[in-house]
Amino acid sequence: MKSVFYLLDTAPYGSEKAFGILNAATVCLNEMSVTVGLYGDGVYLAAAGQDSKKLGVPNLSDILYAYGELRVLVHEPSLVERNLFGENLIETLELTDEENFFEAMESSDCVVLL
Amino acid sequence: MKTLTIVLTDGPYISEYAEIAYKLADAALKKYNVNIFLYLDGVHIPKKGQNPSVFTNAGQLFSRLAEKGVVIRACARCAGARGYTPEKDIINGSNCKDYFPGIKITSIYELSEMLSKSDRVVSLSR
């Protein structure tokens, strides 16, 4: 496999999944082309200005800022459904429509859903 | 021979994924080298001493796979978070006294290596 697509469809902080996906994705960067796709509630990870201090867990947006080479696609219709479209989002992320999101999944050698 | 990697994130019994992964891996062994990477709650699967009263013992199933040559590894961060500690010594193919033989705790970088060397990847997660 030369490329992997990690699909996140759950909100950050409610479970370990978003952290788990980012951890797995970043360690794969040396060996593979890596894309993280934020879909459904996963798009909440795209919000700028996250502050997780009171939760006692790592700030996941810091990981996104630290790994600018990580390609992160944000499913635009999911943003719209959650009234997040037009909100302040992390600048390094790419907004994509339905077609381009699934094309990115299809063109990857494997899709890993956590 | 081609390689199949299965990624599991659920613990045993909360879903059927451990049992499904066992069946997939067992069948795939005829044509594939098989890896299983245990991530997040998946690291509970190979724990010794499970006694599910009405379910098949998931740890024993995975122990059988390891005996047949399936490479089963558990993420070190996830394992540490859940109380499974890797030891320096490897006894019966395992570096964790709480795990069945043949199943090791390892760095998450091994996931990257497994994926990059695989021809097929299956992830089972809720």
**pLDDT tens per residue, range A30-83:** 999 999 999 999 999 999 999 999 999 999 999 999 999 999 999 999 999 999
CA distance A86 to chain B (A): 30
Identify the pLDDT of residue B43: 98
- Which of B40, B116, B120 is opposite residue A32, by nearest beta carbon? B116
- Is A103 an 8 Å CB contact of chain B? no
Query: Does position A109 have pLDDT exceeding 90, yes or no?
Result: yes
Give pTM, 2 decimals: 0.95
- Is A90 an 8 Å CB contact of chain B? no
Identify the pLDDT of residue A63: 95
Query: Does position B26 have pLDDT exceeding 90, yes or no?
Result: yes
Identify the pLDDT of residue B7: 98
Identify the pLDDT of residue B59: 96
Query: Does position A86 have pLDDT exceeding 90, yes or no?
Result: no
Contact A24 B108 (CB under 8 A): yes
Query: Does position B51 have pLDDT exceeding 90, yes or no?
Result: yes
Contact A30 B112 (CB under 8 A): yes
Q: What CATH class is the domain A3-113?
A: alpha beta
Contact B125 A4 (CB under 8 A): no
Cα R_g (chain B), whole angstroms: 13
A62: which residues sit within 8 A by CB, 6+ positions away?
A: none
Residues from chain B that touch A109, judged by Cβ atoms under 8 A, are 121
- Which of B78, B111, B118 is opposite residue A27, by nearest beta carbon? B111
Mean pLDDT, residues B71-83 taken together = 98
Phi, psi angles (nearest 5°) of residue B123:
-115, 135
Mean pLDDT, residues A4-19 taken together = 96
- Domains of chain B, by residue range, sit at 2-124
Q: Is the dihedral of CA A77, A38, A8, A110 positive or negative?
A: positive
Contact B115 A4 (CB under 8 A): yes
- Is A16 an 8 Å CB contact of chain B? yes
Residues from chain A that touch B77, judged by Cβ atoms under 8 A, are 23
Identify the pLDDT of residue B103: 97
- Domains of chain A, by residue range, sit at 3-113
In CATH, which of 3.30.420.40, 3.40.1260.10, 3.20.20.70, 2.70.98.10 is domain B2-124? 3.40.1260.10
Residue with token string 């594939």: B32
Strands across the sheet containing A94-96: A94-96, A71-75, A33-38, A3-8, A110-113
